[in-house]
Structure 1
Amino acid sequence: MNLKKLFINFFFSALIITFAANSYAAVIDLVKIEGNRRVPSETFLRYTVKAGEEFDMNKVSASIKEIFTTDLVVDVQVDMRVDDDKLTLVYVVKEKPYVNKVYLEGNINVRENYITEDMIPMEGQILDRAKVEENINKIIGVYHDEKYYSVAVKADIEDRSDNSVDVFFRIEEGPEARIYDIVFAGNKFYTDKELMKMLSTKEKGFFSWLTGSGKLKQELIEIDVEKIRGEYMKKGFIQVRVGEPEVQISEGKKKRITLTFRVEEGDRFKIDSIAFEGNRHRTDKELESVTVLKSGDWFNVEEFQNDIKRLTDRFTEIGYAFANVEPLTKENKDEKTVTVTYRVEENVLVKISRINIRGNADTKDRVIRREMDIAEGDIYDSRRINSSKKNIEFTDYFEEVRLDEKRVDDSSVDLNVSVKDKRTGFFSVGMGYSSVDELMFMLRLQKKNLLGSGYTTDFKAEFASKRTDYTISLTDPWFLDKPITLGVDFYKLKRSYYEYDKYNDGVALRLGHPVVGRKLYATYKLAYEKEKISDIDDNASQYIWDQEGEYTTVSFTPILNYRTTNHPVDPTSGNISRIYYKYAGGPLGGDNDYYKTGVETSEFIPLWWKFVGMLHLEGGYLDSTGEGKLPVDERFRLGGIYSVRGYKYGYISPKDEDGYDYGGNKMFLFNAELVFPIAADQGFKGAFFYDAGQVNDTDEDYLDGKFYQGVGVGFRWYSPIGPIRIEYGIPLDRDDNKKSGRWEFSMGGMF
């Protein structure tokens, strides 16, 4: 080292000492990073002092702390150097090692990929002790799910030469164990059997290999404790305590778990009295009418919470959007009663300032806005706001509908309607079999919300060896942006029966409007049809021969539709009903004079758990208003997937003297279904059903004679490509006494 450099080093050493003592300023010429292998120098330089700054020991110390906060290093040292007469500040870092490989050892009875799919990825990342501990817990959790409750897991970290490590998770599986006994202690009000039904955790059963019963899962245990506690609190046991279940594992090769739930029921409380305070715009009587809990009832925490919501809704429905109901309870332990006071804060009357529509990339604003039951400037009404959301959902134009409120000031709110357009093109493909058409294929192409304006176009076609049907429809559900439906249908039909061929061309005009809100809807249909019956077989009945030739039919059909279901496609509650009256001929003209009337109703009933019952009734009647015979194609026939399953389409029908089915003028149909989820997340459901139907002719009384019954099982899948139905029906009343069943199938999809 030459004298000049020696002098400079001595000078800067003295300078640092002098700076620390006297705050003498020295300028840093260069900042360098050394020791880093994987992390770029630029990453560390973000936290160091900068070249050109005056040397400051406090800033250097602070920068070292900043580098440690990155969690990238285990050590940082700072050197002062003089290179080419320049003052250089060097940060010497020691990086944390990174994980090269993760190994599992000792897993004999559980596959490696089943374990690793739950673990937090570590390979190629900086070693994080917290992740190691978390992965140990995840491995233990996987083994607990597989009934290995004695499992032990430890992690060993082995250094490599390149500042990396391998992590070994060493597993001692221990013996497999299952829950064989669930025991309850301290329960008097509920029996052991009743408590057992409340639990998600189950004892090992005969079908445990299929159902998974006998597994001990901590998350389910915690849910079960809350279930038991909740059921007690519904019955007035407001002081109930349910301890953390005790787990006992037997000794021996085959581990048996006994799970013990300990319950301290406490006293049961009734409601002494209910009072209201602060309510100015609702009387006590009005509020009492919406509460379920009454004086003298057992205190039910669940209904208590629901009553608070119901009371709040009574004020939000009349404009008090920020109303608050605060419940005050006072226990009388001696009398075992609870006094309830609902303290109401109505706050101020609120109006709707603006309604903002968002997210509708394809759909026009007006299509959404016209579905709203509330408008800008209206008094706030939570009931109408909720019904508006439901109306938009029922258009079936959107994957998602959200309605949020934004407070503008103390007396107004904005409603933000956020939607996500969905694919509204629908196709369905189906096939079936009928005694008339034999093997039949069906195709339907439908586009809702055409051009984002709510128009619907629909094309339907049915093909069979003896049948071809085409229908094209166009519908505007809001004609002139009024709640009036206007539509037109064009259709062409060709059908070859055993005894004759029939051709039918027609056009129909439809008009509809609401009668009572959106629940009751009226439609009117005016149709003009040209009909031709030809190619009659020599052995056909005289009834068919009498209708040979060409005819015109002009008909008018008013229909009333009623709907209260909670979902447009897959309802679980509510009702769908319809009544119609079709009048043909008379003053309308044409060659056929008759009337046809019918009524049907479907009730969806939520039952226990997620089971849903469905009851369907339908009846129809057909009669002539002139001298001519009833058109054969208007006559009633039953059988098939949409009526009485287990029978071919048209099997349930009166027969003429030659044994031919030609339909009846009276019809009755009953269906009962029990629908249940199989894989709810995937939209897969099952159903048991019972069907019964009857078709009579003019010489028979209504509901007189034989009923045809069928039972069976069905499977429905609301798949990504649309609804799919598979039904297997067993006939109970075939004329030939055969009991062989029939499969029926239909499916649909989106485009």
Structure 2
Amino acid sequence: MFDRTANPSFQYPADCFYFRIWIIILLFTNLNPGIAAAQESQNSTKPSTVIILSAPGSIKEFLFKYFKLPSEPFADETAEEIFLYRAQKEIRNLLATEGYFSPSISVLHQIRNNVSIPEIKVDPGTLTRIGKIYIAFQGEITQEISKYQERIAQLRTTWPLKTGLPFRSSEWEKAKEALLSEVTQEEFAAAQFVSSQATVDPDNARADLSIIIDSGPVFYLGEIQITGLERYDPAMITNLAPFKMGDIYRRDVLHLYQIALQKGPQFGSVSVSVTPDVTQHRTVPVQVMVTEAQSQRFAFGVGYSSNNGARGEINYRNHNLMDRAWNLTSLLRLEQKRQTFFAGIDTLPDQNNVNYSLGANLQMTDIQDLKTVEEKIGVTRNYQTQKIQMHFGLSWQHESKKPAGAINQINEALVLDWRWRRQVVDDPVNIRRGDVTDLRVGGGSRQLLSDQDFIRTYARHQSWWPVGSQDVIFLRAEVGYTLASSRFGIPQEYLFRAGGIQSIRGYDFKSIGVEEGNAIVGGLVMATGTAEYTHWLTQQWGVATFVDIGSAADRWQKMHPFLGYGGGIRWRSPAGPIALDLARGHETGTLRVHFSMAVAF
């Protein structure tokens, strides 16, 4: 080490001192790249991101949504100029889609922290509004026939883009598409645009609309042409057709036909259509394309319901039994309160939408201290359309009934049963508007293998009403009455208990009925009702509040109403709304959680 005190007459040369200081600065800078980068940034003149200046609130929000700003500084001035040129052109095109055809777009430069930042100033100008509207038709729809003239008048009346409304390209395209779809909905499958034009006058901020549609000739349905069918008889497809040759073409009829075929387990996919060839309009072929599903399958499942607890099940299905396309279904379902084994065969529907079912069932239950073992076999004639289902059946049932603290019984009944159901809803999975009505009448006689004379009647009605754009009001009412001298000798299926999901929430499943020993058994009369309001917070999630009331007893005079109320959450699953409810039973003061599908058919 150099010791300055050893030679006090020694002095540093000035250039040597500054040289050492310079070396230290260089070393310090190389060892601290962050500082070097900061110094480079300070010396840089590269701009930051572009911002939109002085655009009206809604326009600014629109541009931020559809116009992408750079997230990194420009590499050089050339890159900046290219971007700004492209930006002005793209913004102008975006504004045109919203009806602004004369915008003023300018670029300013501001200096912030010694950095030049380009700013885009947007003045959208005057909003273009719809002026004259001209909708004309050609083809057979112009015939002097009252129904065609009324149809043209209706199409013009329901045209959504009225004079004076803002003109937007997206709404213009949607309106044209909807108009053509309405024309091709019925009779005129080959309708097409002859011309469609929106003439924009930027100076007067006005857009005149002109549309000419050629309806073409009336189409009539011809023979059914099937492709993709290998294992099954074509009659299983033709028998389900809701039309006959020579009927006028209607798109909704073909859609219903496709839905009916898709319901069959024999097919994985189905497509029903016609080719709008004007040369075949008198007998246009109906093309049915199917993909056959596997004829046999096993399925396993688990689940949970607050009515019957945890559930596990296994089922086997054969959709081509005896090579006749009959449907064999077998099911083993194990629940905490109920265990079920079922096997059944369904024939194919005929041309009158009628088929037959044969089934056998073994079921054991342990609910509210009542144990039952039920053996049942029956045959049913079924009739089904899009809105109506009707079943007429004959079944024999043997039931072992074991109420805790009371006498065990054996009940047998041969029952003639009729069921009718009407369903008119806007969406079978997520209902906002519609009605579902169920009626059932059945009975047995001591003269025909039954232990008791009885007639059982049951009715249920459910209604949905939309409120605003999202919310729904749901009302349900059901009533049951079994005409008999006594409930003894009648199987529980033909008596009534209440409580639980789809009945009176806040009370255990089937906990409202008639006391027999320590058990609750079914009575001869029952009535329940529900009022529920659901508010959907998003497309998937909602909240609900409800009140249930009702009872079950042996006589109307002994009916004591039970009240339940509460709220819950709803989730729109692919299979339908899932409900999780917290309900309070007013008579007991207890709180219960109910979990299930919100809509049960």
Contact 2:311 2:336 in 1 (8 A): no
Q: Which residue pairs with 2:78 in the alignment?
A: none
Q: Which residue pairs with 2:159 in the alignment?
A: 293
Structure 1 unaligned segments of length 5 or more: list them.
1-173, 204-220, 233-237, 679-684, 747-751
Q: Which residue pairs with 1:537 in the alignment?
A: 404
Cα 1:598–1:242 change in 2 (3 A) is farther
Aligned pair 1:650/2:510, yes or no? yes
CA distance in structure 1 between the aligned counterparts of 2:68 and 2:508, rounded to whole angstroms: 44
CA distance in structure 2 between the aligned counterparts of 1:422 and 1:474, rounded to whole angstroms: 18
Q: Which residue pairs with 1:266 in the alignment?
A: 127
AA aligned to 1:519 is K
Cα deviations by residue, 1:518-562 (Å, 9 ceiling, x for unpaired): 22333323333223324x433x4xxxx5x8443325242221232
Contact 1:688 1:712 in 2 (8 A): yes
AA aligned to 1:694 is I
| Match of residue 557, structure 1, among 418, 424, 439 | 418
CA distance in structure 1 between the aligned counterparts of 2:565 and 2:417, rounded to whole angstroms: 34
TM superposition shift of 1:580? 1.2
Describe the SS at the equivalent of 1:697.
Answer: strand
CA distance in structure 1 between the aligned counterparts of 2:119 and 2:504, rounded to whole angstroms: 50
TM superposition shift of 1:510? 1.9
| Match of residue 552, structure 2, among 697, 710, 714 | 697
Q: Which residue pairs with 1:69 in the alignment?
A: none
Q: Which residue pairs with 1:429 in the alignment?
A: 301
Cα 1:417–1:466 change in 2 (3 A) is closer
Q: Which residue pairs with 1:458 in the alignment?
A: 329
Describe the SS at the equivalent of 2:262.
Answer: helix
Structure 2 unaligned segments of length 5 or more: list them.
1-45, 70-87
Describe the SS at the equivalent of 1:635.
Answer: coil
CA distance in structure 2 between the aligned counterparts of 1:574 and 1:175, rounded to whole angstroms: 57
CA distance in structure 2 between the aligned counterparts of 1:648 and 1:258, rounded to whole angstroms: 67
- The one of the two structures with greater contact order (alpha-carbon pairs below 8 A, sep at least 6) is 2
Q: Which residue pairs with 2:317 in the alignment?
A: 447
Q: Which residue pairs with 1:392 in the alignment?
A: 261
Match runs of 1:140-155 below 5 Å:
none
Describe the SS at the equivalent of 2:124.
Answer: strand
| Match of residue 475, structure 1, among 346, 350, 375 | 346
Cα deviations by residue, 1:652-680 (Å, 9 ceiling, x for unpaired): x25749885445611223455567888xx
TM superposition shift of 1:258? 9.2
Cα 1:700–1:201 change in 2 (3 A) is farther
TM superposition shift of 1:637? 2.2
Describe the SS at the equivalent of 1:393.
Answer: helix
Cα 1:335–1:225 change in 2 (3 A) is closer
CA distance in structure 2 between the aligned counterparts of 1:246 and 1:712, rounded to whole angstroms: 54
TM superposition shift of 1:572? 6.3
Describe the SS at the equivalent of 1:622.
Answer: strand
Q: Which residue pairs with 1:628 in the alignment?
A: 486
Q: Which residue pairs with 2:362 in the alignment?
A: 492
What TM-score results when the alignment is normalised by the length of structure 1? Answer: 0.54
TM superposition shift of 1:598? 1.9
Q: Which residue pairs with 1:712 in the alignment?
A: 568
Cα 1:732–1:331 change in 2 (3 A) is same
CA distance in structure 2 between the aligned counterparts of 1:661 and 1:403, rounded to whole angstroms: 52
Cα 1:419–1:466 change in 2 (3 A) is closer
Aligned pair 1:594/2:470, yes or no? no
Match runs of 1:184-199 below 5 Å:
185-186=55-56, 199=65
Cα 1:744–1:565 change in 2 (3 A) is closer
Contact 1:273 1:338 in 2 (8 A): no
CA distance in structure 2 between the aligned counterparts of 1:687 and 1:509, rounded to whole angstroms: 42
Q: Which residue pairs with 1:577 in the alignment?
A: 436
Contact 2:135 2:212 in 1 (8 A): no
TM superposition shift of 1:227? 8.8
CA distance in structure 1 between the aligned counterparts of 2:332 and 2:63, rounded to whole angstroms: 51
Contact 1:592 1:628 in 2 (8 A): no
TM superposition shift of 1:627? 1.5
CA distance in structure 1 between the aligned counterparts of 2:91 and 2:204, rounded to whole angstroms: 31
Q: Which residue pairs with 2:18 in the alignment?
A: none
Cα 1:379–1:726 change in 2 (3 A) is closer
| Match of residue 387, structure 2, among 508, 519, 536 | 519
CA distance in structure 1 between the aligned counterparts of 2:513 and 2:92, rounded to whole angstroms: 61
Cα deviations by residue, 1:448-500 (Å, 9 ceiling, x for unpaired): 74358653333233435664332222222414x54113112211223345555
CA distance in structure 1 between the aligned counterparts of 2:108 and 2:315, rounded to whole angstroms: 59
Describe the SS at the equivalent of 1:185.
Answer: coil
Cα 1:461–1:223 change in 2 (3 A) is farther
Cα 1:477–1:258 change in 2 (3 A) is farther
Cα 1:598–1:338 change in 2 (3 A) is same
Q: Which residue pairs with 1:150 in the alignment?
A: none
CA distance in structure 2 between the aligned counterparts of 1:441 and 1:321, rounded to whole angstroms: 50
AA aligned to 1:473 is G
TM superposition shift of 1:445? 1.8
Describe the SS at the equivalent of 1:639.
Answer: coil
Aligned length: 513
CA distance in structure 2 between the aligned counterparts of 1:440 and 1:323, rounded to whole angstroms: 56
Q: Which residue pairs with 1:506 in the alignment?
A: 376
Match runs of 1:151-300 below 5 Å:
185-186=55-56, 199=65, 232=98, 238=99, 240=101, 263-269=124-130, 276=137, 279-281=141-143, 283-291=148-156, 292-293=158-159, 298=165
Q: Which residue pairs with 1:418 in the alignment?
A: 289
Contact 1:331 1:338 in 2 (8 A): yes
CA distance in structure 2 between the aligned counterparts of 1:598 and 1:300, rounded to whole angstroms: 52
CA distance in structure 1 between the aligned counterparts of 2:261 and 2:558, rounded to whole angstroms: 42
Cα 1:476–1:327 change in 2 (3 A) is same
Match runs of 1:14-53 below 5 Å:
none
Cα 1:391–1:502 change in 2 (3 A) is closer
Contact 1:508 1:525 in 2 (8 A): yes
Match runs of 1:295-334 below 5 Å:
298=165, 305=173, 308-309=176-177, 312-313=180-181, 316=184, 319-325=187-193, 326-327=195-196
Q: Which residue pairs with 1:52 in the alignment?
A: none
Cα 1:563–1:656 change in 2 (3 A) is same
Q: CA RMSD in A?
A: 5.3
CA distance in structure 1 between the aligned counterparts of 2:344 and 2:585, rounded to whole angstroms: 39
Cα deviations by residue, 1:138-166 (Å, 9 ceiling, x for unpaired): xxxxxxxxxxxxxxxxxxxxxxxxxxxxx
CA distance in structure 1 between the aligned counterparts of 2:446 and 2:94, rounded to whole angstroms: 68
TM superposition shift of 1:600? 3.3
Describe the SS at the equivalent of 1:410.
Answer: helix
Cα 1:575–1:275 change in 2 (3 A) is same
Cα 1:677–1:461 change in 2 (3 A) is farther
Cα 1:266–1:335 change in 2 (3 A) is closer
Match runs of 1:74-153 below 5 Å:
none
